Amino acid sequence: MASITKLFKPRNEKREKMSLLTVIMCIILAVYCIVLLALIFWGLITVLKHPEEFLNGHNRAGLPKYVFLDKGGNFVRAMKLWHKTTPEETTFVESLLNSILYAAGGAFINTLVQCLTAYLCARYKYKLSKIVYGAVIVAMILPIVGSLASEIEMAKRFGLYDQIWGTWIMKANFLGLYFLVFHEMFSSMPMAYSEAAKIDGANDWSIFWKIAFPLAVNTFMTVLLINFVALWNDFQMSLVYLPTHHTMAECVHRAFETTGDFTAPPLRFAFTFILMTPILILFLCFHKRLLGNLTIGGVKG
Listed by start position, the domains of the chain span 86-290
Mean pLDDT of the chain: 80
DSSP state of 30: H
* pLDDT score recorded for residue 118: 92
Q: Are the CB atoms for 299 and 193 separated by under 8 Å? A: yes
Tens of pLDDT, residue by residue over 94-114, are: 888 999 999 999 999 999 999
* Whole-number Å distance between alpha carbons of 48 and 63: 9
**Domain 86-290, second-level architecture:** Orthogonal Bundle (1.10)
Has residue 72 got a pLDDT over 70?
Answer: no
In this prediction, residue 116 has a pLDDT band, given cuts at 50, 70 and 90, of very high
Q: For residue 41, is pLDDT > 60?
A: yes
How much is the average pLDDT of 236-247?
87
Q: What is the DSSP letter of 208?
A: I
pLDDT at 27: 93
pTM of the model: 0.78
For a pLDDT cut of 90, what percent of the chain falls above it?
A: 16
Confidence of residue 296 (pLDDT cuts 50, 70, 90): very low
Chain centroid to Cα 258, Å, comes to: 27
Q: pLDDT: is 259 or 229 the higher one? A: 229
Contact 110, 173 (CB under 8 A): yes
pLDDT of 9: 52
Q: Is the pLDDT of residue 298 over 80?
A: no
- Note the pLDDT of residue 206: 84
Q: How many degrees, rounded to 5, is the angle at CA 160 between CA 158 and CA 165?
A: 135
Residue with more model confidence, 205 or 82: 205
Q: How confident is the model at residue 35 (pLDDT cuts 50, 70, 90)?
A: very high
- Residues 125 and 256: their CA atoms lie apart, in Å, by 50
Residues 244 and 251: their CA atoms lie apart, in Å, by 12
Number of C-alpha atoms within 13 angstroms, CB side, residue 61?
Answer: 0
